[in-house]
Amino acid sequence: MPRVGARVVLAYSGGLDTSAMAQQAQQLQLASLGRLTASIAHEIRNPLGAISHAGQLLAESPNLDDHDSRLTRIITGQSQRMNAIIENVLQLGRRTQTSPELIGLQAFLTDFLREFLQQQRLPAEVVAVRIEPENMQIRFDLTHLRQILTNLCDNALRHSRASSGNPRVELLGGLGLDRNRPYLDVCDHGEGIDADTVAHIFEPFYTTSAAGSGLGLYISRELAEANQAHLHYAPMPGGGSCFRLSFQDPRRQMQ
Ligand SMILES: Nc1ncnc2c1ncn2[C@@H]1O[C@H](COP(=O)(O)OP(=O)(O)OP(=O)(O)O)[C@@H](O)[C@H]1O
Ligand SMILES: [Mg+2]
């Protein structure tokens, strides 16, 4: 009988080795892809800056008629959009390095929101935070968590503003059913997402917004996976969207 047990253990540890190797190979592939995309994005940034600057100077010209003004607005708007794509691609390149640390979620959110709301020029009232238990900890890369929450809060505020005129987001933290895995929900009472659209929202470059890059949710999910966490969508009862970030048990060290 012990031999059977030993065989089972061997088979199991063999499986672990293969997945560790596959993970390592994927990391290497991502690292070189990250370097390539980051250098392309970097090269595009300078000429794009020049186009955008020229467009702004043109827009200030006193002799523009309505038609030409509209064209300069297109140059400026689309340059901004391309710049957002470049910034996102550069972020994606940085994702290959993950430095997880133990974080007190409540204290982290207080710092994060102060900075985020200041940048967005929004008052503190637009965000409601409830974390239970208050001393909840997670293990995550700080820079990655900031990027994910910036993307999710930005979406929530934009969509709630579009549907009600009032930007509003709720951040609700708790422990999963097994009491080991913490989660953070980023919720809004915007228009929600219909079933056809939901199937695509995590795909790169999928967007329903004229100004968006469609990389926000894709990058957020990639960053979550790099930290052994998951990002999922769930509709809000009564309308609206909820994105749940389910973290790894913080007592587990990452491999
Ligand atoms: N809170 C939300 N409410 C309703 N729809 C959403 C919400 N968040 C995301 N979506 C949908 O998912 C799509 C993809 O979101 P994602 O954040 O990846 O890109 P984006 O917001 O369109 O562009 P970017 O993030 O570059 O500004 C959005 O275009 C929108 O259709
Ligand atoms: Mg977005």
Distance from Cα 1 to the centre of ligand 1, integer Å: 56
- If one residue of 207, 243, 245 were mutated to test the ligand 1 pocket, choosing by the most ligand atoms within 8 A of its CB, it would be 207
Helix (H, G, I), strand (E, B) or coil at 123: coil
Give the residue with greater pLDDT, 135 vs 89. 135
Distance from Cα 26 to the centre of ligand 2, integer Å: 26
Nearest atom, ligand 1, residue 218 CA: 18
Round to whole Å and give the CA distance between 132 and 112.
Answer: 18
Closest CA to ligand 1's atom 11:
201
Q: Of the given ranges (17-31, 48-62, 200-214), which has the lowest mean pLDDT?
A: 17-31
For 128, phi and psi rounded to 5 degrees? -115, 130
Q: What is the pLDDT of residue 244?
A: 97
Distance from Cα 14 to the centre of ligand 1, integer Å: 41
For residue 3, pLDDT beyond 50: no
For ligand 1, which residues put their CB under 6 angstroms from it?
84, 151, 155-156, 159, 188, 190-191, 193, 197, 201, 206-209, 212-218, 241
Round to whole Å and give the CA distance between 62 and 28.
Answer: 54
Distance from Cα 201 to the centre of ligand 1, integer Å: 7
27 pLDDT tier (thresholds 50, 70, 90): low
Ion ligand 2 — residues with CB < 5 Å: 155, 216
For residue 204, pLDDT beyond 90: no
Round to whole Å and give the CA distance between 221 and 229.
Answer: 9
- If one residue of 163, 196, 209 were mutated to test the ligand 1 pocket, choosing by the most ligand atoms within 8 A of its CB, it would be 209
What percentage of the chain reaches a pLDDT higher than 70?
87
C-alpha distances out from residue 63 to 51, 60, 66, 102, 151, Å: 20, 9, 10, 58, 40
Nearest ligand, CA 162 = 1
For residue 35, pLDDT beyond 80: no
Nearest atom, ligand 1, residue 217 CA: 18
Q: What is the 3-state secondary structure (H, E, C) of 205-231?
A: CCCCCCCCCCCHHHHHHHHHHHCCCEE
Q: What is the pLDDT of residue 13?
A: 42
What would the pLDDT profile of 126-183 be if each residue is shown by its tens digit?
999 999 999 999 999 998 899 899 999 999 999 999 998 999 999 999 998 887 899 9
- Mean pLDDT for 88-97 is 70
- Mean pLDDT for 176-200 is 93
Closest by alpha carbon to 174, among 131, 145, 128?
Answer: 131
What domains sit in the chain, N to C, each tagged with a CATH number?
A: 2-94 (1.10.287), 100-246 (3.30.565.10)
* Single-letter amino acid code for the residue at 73: R
Nearest ligand, CA 154 = 2
Burial 11-32 (b: 16+ CB within 10 A, else e): eeeeeeeeeeeeeeeeeeebee
Nearest ligand, CA 159 = 1
43 pLDDT tier (thresholds 50, 70, 90): confident
Distance from Cα 201 to the centre of ligand 2, integer Å: 10
Mean pLDDT of the chain: 85
